[in-house]
Amino acid sequence: MFENYSFLARYWSLFVKGVETTIELAVISIVFGLILGIILALMKRAKNWVIAILAKMYIGFIRDTPLLVQIYIVYIGLPIVTGMDIPDFMTGVVALTFYSAAYIAEIIRSGIESLPTGQSEAALSLGMSKRKVMTDIILPQAFKNILPALGNQFIGNVKDSSLVSVLGIADLMFAAQTVRGSTALGLQPMIVAALLYLVITWLLNIILSHIERRLKSSDRVA
Amino acid sequence: MIELHNVKKSYGDNTVLKNINLKVNDGEVVVIIGPSGSGKSTLLRQMNLLEQPTSGDVRVDGQIVSGKVKPEIVRKTHEKIGMVFQKFNLFPHYTVLENITHAPKKVRHLDKEDAEKLALHLLGQIGLIDKKDSYPASLSGGQQQRIAIIRALAMQPEVLLFDEPTSALDPEMVEEVLKVMKDLAKSGMTMVVVTHEMGFAKQVGDRVLFVDDGQILEEDTPEEIFSHAKEARTRSFISKILYT
């Protein structure tokens, strides 16, 4: 377990590429997941029950089926639905976006509902439109409250992205598998991958807690 | 100005307002008193449509604004009728200045300079200019409530509604808020105030309504209602708030 790491000299660049791809997957999918998640959260709160039920069904489907199954559904279904040849990386991004959006929608909904109703009443009573109340008053406060949960989701995206390696996307997991294949080493490449995942999530944790602290302090500072 | 016609409000089986008819005239200061749970806050919230009546209608300047009307009419009504809440409801993520200027900029489309000039003028009147860059969480309840009042004023509303504006305050801060409200009343502002502050009602109130069990049981001038109320329920309630 602690020896035979000489393969790194030859294959390190594969791992670096893998780390890059993993981070790209996680970042792009969290950004689009956030956008889709906000839309889903608002749909679920809509007065129109058809819209609300659609959002509920979507969120239920994503949360109650395995990500690996969803990845295959997107992989096979997306070219059929769009009639286009979709690059594997894009397929991975779409699958991870669809997946994380459902969880983010629930996080945002709880963030909106945790705000006192007085906030939207005060904003409405100033003559603001419902849309402005949402974008200017509710969402910024909700976002601040849910930042820790969103951070966890982001870290979840980093880890979950390892599953898209089944599509042949050259992420960190794929790099480890490739090295395993060409060196006949069993455990070592996986340990390298695990350590690299750890470093990524550890760094993310540091950045996120830093942002959280800064946002918290803005509530108090005179 | 504001008229309620046969307004009823119920939540499921629970009837909160039975049959309210009320007219608030321009420049008038109306004080609403009543036991907790009597429906007085709900009554106030009908006036700016934070809650819709179950039946009956609300008219502002003669126009029906309740029921199935365009959202824009409801929004316009909000713009005309400002509201001050028991719990202040300042926006915690904005500074004091942003709290005051946000709606004037976004709703009345004032440019930043004009909105800030107006805000600073109002802050000057309540002696809190030095707090303009503070966040609400760093202010006392009395300061927050005074800022909430001028935040509503910055929209230049035709009427201001107050929902128990001093009930959530420490006793020593009640006066500073009442003073701002009294000054406003004297300046001719149309106000509807749910409060148990007798002194305020007596000094600036034109009319006092006693609300009990979802109805306006009695209404009269402050002098009459506080010393010679006709209804036994009113007298009993007033003796309780006077001697506790």
Q: Residue A217: pLDDT band by 50, 70, 90 thresholds?
A: low
Yes or no, beta carbons of A222 and B133 under 8 Å apart:
yes
Instruction: Give the mean pLDDT of B124-144.
Output: 94
8 Å CB contact between A220 and B137: yes
- Reported as a pLDDT band with limits 50, 70 and 90, residue B205 is very high
Question: Domain of A203: which CATH number?
Answer: 1.10.3720.10
The ipTM assigned to this model is 0.92
Residues A82-91 pLDDT 10s: 988 889 999 9
Chain A residues within 8 A of B85 when measuring between CB atoms: 118, 121-122
The Cα of B145 is separated from the nearest Cα of chain A by a number of Å equal to: 12
Chain B residues whose beta carbon lies within 8 Å of the beta carbon of residue A221: 135, 138
Mean pLDDT along residues B201-213: 92
Q: Does B137 touch chain A (CB under 8 A)?
A: yes
Residue with tokens 């695990």: A194
**A136-177 pLDDT tens trace:** 999 999 988 898 999 999 999 999 999 999 988 988 998 888
- Count: domains in chain A: 1
* Structural domain boundaries enclosing A79: 2-221
What confidence tens digit (pLDDT) does each residue in B30-68 have? Answer: 999 999 889 999 999 999 899 999 999 999 998 999 988
Specify the pLDDT at position A219: 60
Closest approach of A109 to chain B, Cα-based (Å): 19
Would you say residue A222 has pLDDT above 60?
A: no
Min Cα–Cα distance to chain B from A171, Å: 39
pLDDT at A180: 87
